[in-house]
Structure formats: structure tokens, C-alpha cells
Structure 1
Amino acid sequence: MTNADTSHRIEIEPNLHRLRVIHGGITIADTRKGVTLKETGLPDVFYFPREDVNMTRLRRSDSASHCPYKGDAAYFHLLTEEDGPVVDAAWSYESPLPGAEAIKGCIAFYSSRVDRIDQTS
């Protein structure tokens, strides 16, 4: 996807690997149907279909942000038994802009706020 800023690109492609998010020894997300979003100047981000995320571990927060390339993001706290919520550990684009539709409703996690995000065979 490109827009008026031709130097900024977003590419979204299916990820054929197994993707997992693990925090506190608990698997929060586990999929073979994820997508990888590659955006100019940023690290690659894995997006997980909601059906492969343990949504009982996430609680919608009041945080929001806007990206001129992807749209409006909603955030989620990760609920843990021992340490309480991990604030805004994940996000989702419920109605992404044209060109970013492949991430609609998927969940992504900040690698700095969870123990591990694994990509394996």
C-alpha cells in the first residue's frame, strides 16, 4: 500500500510459520494463519486472527491511536494472575484504511510487553 507519501510503504503478507505469544508461561496466542505487516522504518509486526488469541486474557483499554496508513487502533490490557494487567500490551485495527484490510480485527502484541513472540516452522 502506498499513499501520497511514496517513500512510506506498508506490505501485509500471509505468514506460513507458527506464531505464538507466551507470557508468564501461558500461551496467549497460537496460530498458523497469521500475517506479517512490514512498514517503512518499523520492525515487522505479527498479527493474529482473533480466533487464535485467548481473548479471555485481554481487556479493552481506553487507549486509542491513529495511523495515517492503517487507521484507528484500539488497545488491550493483558490480564495475568500474578502481576496484574500488562497495560496496553496488544492492539487491533477494527476498521483499517484501504490497503490494510488484511489486519482487520486481528490482534498484534508489543514484544516489549510480553515474554516472547515466537515464529517457528
Structure 2
Amino acid sequence: MPTASTEPRITLHPHARRVRVIIDGTLLADTTRTIELRERGYPPRQYLPREDVRMDLLTASATVTHCPFKGDAAYFSFGEHSDVAWSYEQPLEGMQAIAQHMAFDDRKMIVTEDSAE
């Protein structure tokens, strides 16, 4: 059995439940094709394929952050809500599966999960 020191810091898993992202009553995303990223010390995070996100409603922000395990994240805003989503445009080796996927700050919106239909 792996110990905390031998387990990978980050693991990626298919997520079969339906995920919807809503802010100010607007549906920004609806998918059953998320990738769940589990990073030691953090709650699981859903990464949604861009094809299932209303990218036309999001605008790129000037915010960029760096994670030594995933790479540089570009942020997106929705109306007056800044930096509600981010994406690793060119993730580091081992994280390529989250390229072209978006994660959302669930503190700023409603994220619902239902059983896959």
C-alpha cells in the first residue's frame, strides 16, 4: 500500500457525474466528461472540457499563476466576476490531460454534480 511519501502528489481521474457551473443564473458549463484532479493537501477539482464550457461568455484576464506541478494557469472572468475560471494552456509533463480543460472557483458560483445520465 502506498504511503503519503510514495503516492504521486497529483493524480487525474475520469469523473462520471454530470457537472454544471452556474453564476448569476447563467449556465456556463454542463458536462459529463470532467477530469478530476486530486492534489495532496487540496480538495478534488473538476476540469471541464472547453467544448462543454460557454467560452463566449468568458473573457481572458491578465492574471497568470504558476504551479510547479501543473505549469502556468491563465484566468478568465465572467462579467463583473473576476478570475472565476482557469486553464493550463500548456501543462507540464504528466498533466497534459488537463490541457484544453477549465477549472472553476466554486466559491464564486454554484457547481452542481448529478449522477451521470
Query: What's the TM-score once normalised by structure 2's chain length?
Result: 0.90
Provide the rounded CA distance (Å) in 2 between the counterparts of 1:62 and 1:120. 33
Percent identity among equivalent residues? 44
Partner of 2:114: 120
- 1:26 Cα deviation after fit: 1.5
Distance in 2 between residues matched to 1:7 and 1:70, nearest whole Å: 17
Partner letter of residue 41 of structure 1?
G
The whole-number CA distance in structure 2 between the counterparts of 1:7 and 1:15 is 20
Q: Could you say which residue in structure 2 is the equivalent of 1:100?
A: 95
Q: Shift in Å at residue 47 of structure 1?
A: 0.6
Consecutive unaligned residues of structure 2, counting only runs of 5 or more, are none
1:1-121 to 2 correspondences below 5 Å? 9-79=9-79, 85-114=80-109, 116-121=110-115
Tell me by how many angstroms 1:6 deviates.
Answer: 5.5
| Shift of residue 102, structure 1, vs aligned partner | 1.0
- Rate the CA distance shift 1:45–1:94 in 2: closer, same or farther, 3 A: same
Corresponding residue pairs, total:
111
Give the direction of change, closer, same or farther, for the CA distance of 1:17–1:7 in structure 2 (3 Å limit): closer
Q: What's the CA shift for 1:113? A: 1.3
Alpha-carbon RMSD across the aligned residues, in angstroms, is 1.4
Q: CA deviation at 1:18?
A: 0.4
Q: How far off is 1:57 after superposition?
A: 1.2
Structure 1: runs of 5+ lacking an equivalent? 80-84
